């Protein structure tokens, strides 16, 4: 995600946070075939109907907003496998040709979780510091449920689990150095967990 895109998303997130409005962050974890956006691309879907960013455009965004509703209501993260528009399709008024798929994470941020770790990510970006957001996608470890997120490279609002602390920091450093998102499986000591680093 480019710096300008990240800042635009965080500006929208800050406005929703300041208004006390819950929202869903939709992030592409991985893609297959030809897709409009690639891994790491994100958009915000607000409970008030607002949105920022774009993952596919047209009817795809309408479908994604509908899928975000149960996440907004329950707070439980959701991973979807979606057909995606082709980058050849540029007119949102036309029927999308879908020849690729994407795995997309939907996460809810709201007053009850203090919009973390996005609040600390906003502060980090405002201070021109670098950080990596690590999020648990799937987990066999009950103490590390899906949706748990860590901000790496700066002090995280969520303490790193002892069994994974070194692995998370090392993988976050690799993601920061490469500038590309990483999707990896890591062993927690009580099972395997899949984490996404952005």
Q: 98-129 pLDDT, tens per residue?
A: 578 889 999 999 999 888 888 888 888 888 88
| % of the chain at pLDDT higher than 70 | 87
Cis before 89? omega within 30? no
Model confidence at 54, in pLDDT bands (50, 70, 90)?
confident
Helix orientation angle between 3-18 and 118-126, rounded to the nearest 10 degrees: 130
Confidence of residue 17 (pLDDT cuts 50, 70, 90): very high
- The pTM (predicted TM-score) of the whole model is 0.84
Predicted pLDDT at 97 = 52
Any alpha helices (H) in 19-152, and if so which ranges?
Answer: 58-74, 118-126
Name which of 136, 84, 131, 132 is nearest 105 in CA terms.
136
User: Cα–Cα distance between 100 and 114 in angstroms, integer?
Assistant: 35
What percent of the chain shows pLDDT beyond 90?
A: 33
Sign of CA dihedral 187, 153, 12, 115: positive
* Dist. CA 49–CA 73, nearest whole Å: 14
């Amino acid at each position: 995600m480019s710096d300008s895109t990240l800042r635009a998303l965080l500006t929208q997130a800050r406005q929703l946070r300041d208004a006390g409005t819950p929202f869903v962050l939709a992030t592409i974890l991985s893609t297959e075939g030809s897709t409009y956006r690639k891994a790491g691309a994100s958009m915000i879907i607000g409970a008030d109907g607002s949105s920022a960013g774009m993952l596919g455009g047209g009817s795809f965004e309408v479908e994604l907003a509908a899928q975000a509703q149960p996440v907004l209501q329950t707070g439980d993260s959701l991973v979807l496998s979606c057909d995606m528009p082709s980058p050849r399709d540029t007119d949102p008024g036309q029927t999308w040709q879908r020849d690729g798929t994407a795995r997309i994470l939907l996460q809810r941020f709201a007053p009850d979780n203090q919009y973390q770790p996005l609040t600390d990510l906003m502060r980090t970006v405002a201070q021109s510091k670098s950080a990596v957001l690590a999020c648990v996608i799937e987990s066999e470890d009950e103490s590390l449920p899906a949706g748990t997120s860590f901000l790496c490279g700066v002090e995280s609002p969520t303490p790193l689990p002892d069994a994974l602390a070194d692995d998370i920091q090392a993988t976050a450093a690799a993601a920061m150095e490469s500038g590309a998102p990483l999707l990896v499986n890591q062993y927690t000591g009580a099972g395997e967990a899949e984490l996404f680093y952005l």
